[in-house]
């Protein structure tokens, strides 16, 4: 019980702080590193929620594949930091933060107004069963087989699109 709360506090704090650090660091490489840290904290939160399969996929696909792609592109392009840009555009910064605070207040109001945890009396066994790879695999190949095939086509299209964009000759 108490261990669950301690783990939640640590992982939640890491997720929140790393997301803020990711947006505020001027160097794109530091942003990418903090985003990887954020993904790992999220994987820990998924484990706390009994979603083992999603936690493992999060680390392999997001932290492993997508972030390596991002870091590879950052290495290829060698972009400069954003110190100067952020200093000369203070208005933009304030407007951005203002809109984000509005979004946060809206979502937070909905969360507490609708009180989603009222009336949930599920046993922990059901939650563990929902996160098992066996359950997710069965759902994926029976109820959601059409979206599953569509996502395969989506990946094929994305691969072909990326190759076509990379092959194009510019003068």
Partner 1 sequence: MNTIPMEYYLLISAFMFSVGVTGVLIRRNAIVVLMCIELMLNSANLALVTFSSFLGDPAGQVFVFFVMTVAAAEAAVGLAIIIAIFRNKLTVNIDEINIFKW
Q: Is 154 in the site for partner 1 (CB under 8 A)?
A: yes
Q: Is 83 in the site for partner 1 (CB under 8 A)?
A: no
Q: Is 161 in the site for partner 1 (CB under 8 A)?
A: yes
Minimum gap (Å) between residue 119 Cβ and partner 1: 11
Q: Is 131 in the site for partner 1 (CB under 8 A)?
A: yes
Indicate which single residue of 10, 69, 83, 87 sits in contact with partner 1 (rule: CB under 8 A).
Answer: 69
Q: Is 6 in the site for partner 1 (CB under 8 A)?
A: no
Closest C-alpha among 116, 140, 135, 137 to residue 125: 135
Ranges within 33-62 binding partner 1 (CB under 8 A): 35, 38-39, 42, 45-46, 48-51, 53-54, 57-58, 61-62
Contacts with partner 1 by CB under 8 A: the residue count is 88
Ranges within 90-129 binding partner 1 (CB under 8 A): 92-93, 95-97, 99-101, 103-104, 107-108, 111-112, 115-117, 120, 122-124, 126-127, 129
Q: Six-digit token pair at 131?
A: 């996160």
Indicate which single residue of 10, 79, 83, 149 sits in contact with partner 1 (rule: CB under 8 A).
Answer: 79
Minimum gap (Å) between residue 92 Cβ and partner 1: 6
Q: Is 145 in the site for partner 1 (CB under 8 A)?
A: no
Residue 84's alpha-carbon distances to 6, 26, 93, 97, 121, in angstroms, are 40, 9, 13, 18, 53
Q: Is 75 in the site for partner 1 (CB under 8 A)?
A: no
Q: Six-digit token pair at 104?
A: 């946060």
Q: HSE (CB half, 13 Å, CA atoms) of 51? A: 12
């Amino acid at each position: 019980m108490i261990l669950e709360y301690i783990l939640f506090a640590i992982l939640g704090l890491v997720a929140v702080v790393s997301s803020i650090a990711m947006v505020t660091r001027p160097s794109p490489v530091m942003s990418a590193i903090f985003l990887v840290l954020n993904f790992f904290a999220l994987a820990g939160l998924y484990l706390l929620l009994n979603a083992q399969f999603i936690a493992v996929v999060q680390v392999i696909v997001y932290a492993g594949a997508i972030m390596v792609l991002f870091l590879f592109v950052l290495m290829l392009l060698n972009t400069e930091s954003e110190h100067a840009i952020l200093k000369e555009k203070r208005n933009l910064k304030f407007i951005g933060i203002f809109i984000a605070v509005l979004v946060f207040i809206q979502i937070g109001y909905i969360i507490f107004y609708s009180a989603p945890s009222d009336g949930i009396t599920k046993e922990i066994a059901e939650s563990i069963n929902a996160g098992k790879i066996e359950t997710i695999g069965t759902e994926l190949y029976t109820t959601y087989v059409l979206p599953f095939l569509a996502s395969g086509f989506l990946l094929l299209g994305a691969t072909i699109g990326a190759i076509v964009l990379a092959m194009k000759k510019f003068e």
